[in-house]
A and B are shown apart, each in its own frame.
Chain A
Amino acid sequence: MKLAKALVMRLLFGVLSLVFISLVTFMADELAPGDAATAIIGEKATPGAVAALRQEMGLDRPWPIRYVEFVGRAVQGDFGKSYYGTKEPVSTILSQNLPMTIRVATMAILLAALIGISLGTWAAVRQNRGADRFVLTLSTLGVTIPNFVLAPILVYIFAVQLDRLPTTWAVDRVAPDIYYLILPVVILSLRPMALLTRLTRSSMIETLNQEFIRLAVAKGVPKMRLVLRHALRNAILPVITAIGTSLGFLLTGSFIVETAFALPGIGREGIEAIQKGDTPLIQATVLVAGALFIGINLLVDLLIPILDPRVREAAV
């Protein structure tokens, strides 16, 4: 069966991507000056002491062996210990921060999909009219204006001037969490929203020009039903694939938004790790974020044949 073969190939590609990301993550540290031994013992230690520690930690062995070990431990959730602070295991730090990132990203992608698909459909139905132009201009702005410009501007309007929303996340929150998350979620969702709007629009326009739609119009199907049941169901598949791709935007956005709003997520934690030079934490952040990115894209691609009978049948 071709479909099974395609799915296996896709799965294999996902695994390969993961291996590649882990290899690059490992090699990046390998090629950089300094290693774990110098980081732990400090710059001032004698070369002899560094060499002894290196041997004790097994850093003197060839890199392929250490890479396999690195992956083996990472698979079990062991990313080593942080160089700084209380030298907590990196996995503990990550598990404290990951929920916030996932929470904000999920809310953002849902918002983006909801509004993006609605706006795109509306624009397609009103093709070349005022509403369509308006939506297109808006989505161009959404793609072009960067998050880190939008974040301070919206904070200034809604938090400073109107005083409706808090400026940043706080440990002692006086209002329900959602008040603190509105601005970050909206800002994070804008780029994927703009992307999904454009894609829904072009996919809908293509679908609306097809024969079966004209037939449905001729049969007198009510317009609402025509657009939602007949056209959108067909047009939405590329949009679903794009939801996976737009996770890339979300990833970039998470770093910005979490920094701008002081949200305790892996984005902010990763930036702090870089500022301190906490290599194990940086590597783990990149690995976990990369694995999430690959995993969700894989999931989306596997979902398509389930949703679309045409893909299923064409492949048999």
Chain B
Amino acid sequence: MNSPGAKPKSRKEIAFWFGVGFLVLLVVFAILGPLIRHDPLVPVSKPFLMPSGLHWLGTDEQGRDVFARLAYGARISLVVGFTVQILSLLVGVTVGLLGVFAPRWIGMPLMRFADGMFAFPDILLAILIIGVWSMGLVPVIVALAITAWPAVARLVYTQALSLKDREYVVASQAMGAKTTYRVVRHVLPHLTGLLMAVAMVDLAGTILAESALSFLGIGVQAPQPSWGSMINIARLDMQSNPQLLVWPCVILCLTIFALNFVGDGLRARLDPKRAD
């Protein structure tokens, strides 16, 4: 984004490191949170308890520990986010590279298919897949991966197309290097940085999408908590217990901000010219 109101570099640095720090904490929280004190899936106390020494963030409408549930939600978000990103990178990079390096009769139809899928509004595609298949963790992962890969394929395609004609790649071809060797040694290494940065920002989108689907009640199913379904359930008791709404909203927004900061920071590191 070429904002002429470019902030001083230090502020962006702070945002980047805040993002990194927050994400590290989030991973620790996701791994340890559900284990340390209470079972996140079953009632452990009276409902609607306020935060206390025993229940750090209080209990929800069924008397389940909110801290443990929030941590379990972090697990769900991270597992969905990373699995979807890995799947979409695998498929997207393969299709994008095939689009450039495979024979035309393979590459062309593949890329046109990617274009078509890209034009399909994400939410409709996800809803269609979950609708005809089923609700739950696995369908959500598959649905989100299917909506995510076309963007990666298109990005890899345009990038690889310009890399293909760089002198060193052409030289390596002239020296008799096979296509696979050229792709693996000369093209892919140039893409990894950019793909990492894009994946960070896409990760935010995936986590949001999972929460949105769970908020709608068609994502992760009870008793497993997701931040989205926690928000949806907390809405019902908003009048008496607004605090239950606060935690999942805050942690979700912080996660999204952190991922965007890290993605922007990575991109700036890769391409200092464009970041200024």
Contact = CB atoms under 8 A, between A and B. Distances in A.
Interface of A: 16-17, 20-21, 24-25, 28-29, 31-33, 127-128, 132-133, 136, 144-149, 152-153, 155-156, 160, 202, 205, 248, 251-252, 255-256, 259-260, 270-271, 273-275, 277, 279, 282-283, 285-286, 289-290, 293
A252 B121 CA distance: 9
14 contacts: A24-B128, A25-B128, A28-B132, A136-B5, A145-B253, A146-B211, A146-B256, A148-B212, A252-B122, A259-B216, A274-B130, A274-B218, A282-B128, A282-B131
Contacts of B133: 32-33
A286 B239 CA distance: 35
A99 B117 CA distance: 28
Nearest to B218: A274
Contacts of B228: 148
Interface of B: 2-5, 116-117, 119-125, 127-133, 135, 208, 211-212, 215-218, 228, 231-232, 234-235, 238-239, 242, 245, 249, 252-253, 256-257, 260
Nearest to B133: A32
Contacts of A285: 127
Contacts of B234: 152
Main secondary structure of the interface of A (DSSP, over half): helix
The dominant DSSP class at the B interface is helix
Nearest to A256: B212
Contacts of A152: 231, 234-235, 238, 245, 249
Contacts of A256: 212, 215-216
A82 B149 CA distance: 32
Given A251-B121, A255-B123, A283-B128, A144 B215 contact: no
A286 B120 CA distance: 10
A155 B238 contact: yes
B111 to A, nearest CB: 14
Nearest to A254: B123
Contacts of B131: 270, 273-274, 277, 279, 282-283, 286
Contact of A144 (B116, B128, B253): B253
Contacts of A153: 245, 249
Contacts of A29: 132
B120 A290 contact: yes
A249 to B, nearest CB: 9
Given A21-B120, A144-B256, 11 more contacts: A31-B132, A32-B132, A145-B253, A152-B235, A155-B235, A160-B239, A274-B131, A277-B131, A282-B131, A283-B131, A293-B121
Nearest to B240: A160
The 3 closest A-B pairs by CB, nearest first: A282-B131, A32-B132, A252-B123
Given A136-B5, A144-B256, A256-B212, A24 B120 contact: yes
Nearest to A168: B235
Contacts of B238: 152, 155-156, 160
A50 to B, nearest CB: 18
Given A28-B132, A144-B260, A290-B124, A133 B252 contact: no
Contacts of B239: 160
A85 B132 CA distance: 18
B252 A149 contact: yes
A152 to B, nearest CB: 5
Given A132-B5, A146-B252, A248-B122, A282 B127 contact: yes
Given A128-B5, A156-B242, A255 B216 contact: yes
B216 A271 contact: yes
A274 B257 CA distance: 31
A259 B216 CA distance: 7
Residue from A16, A205, A252, A285 with most neighbouring chain B CB atoms (10 Å) = A252
A28 B231 contact: no
Contacts of A31: 132
A20 B115 CA distance: 10
A205 B3 CA distance: 11
A133 B8 CA distance: 13
B132 A279 contact: yes
Contact of B211 (A148, A205, A259): A148
B256 A156 contact: no
A275 B121 contact: no
B128 A17 contact: no
B245 A146 contact: no
Contacts of A149: 231, 249, 252-253
B143 to A, nearest CB: 10
A274 B127 contact: yes
A149 B214 CA distance: 13
B269 to A, nearest CB: 21
B254 to A, nearest CB: 11
Nearest to B6: A128
Contact of A156 (B3, B116, B216, B245): B245
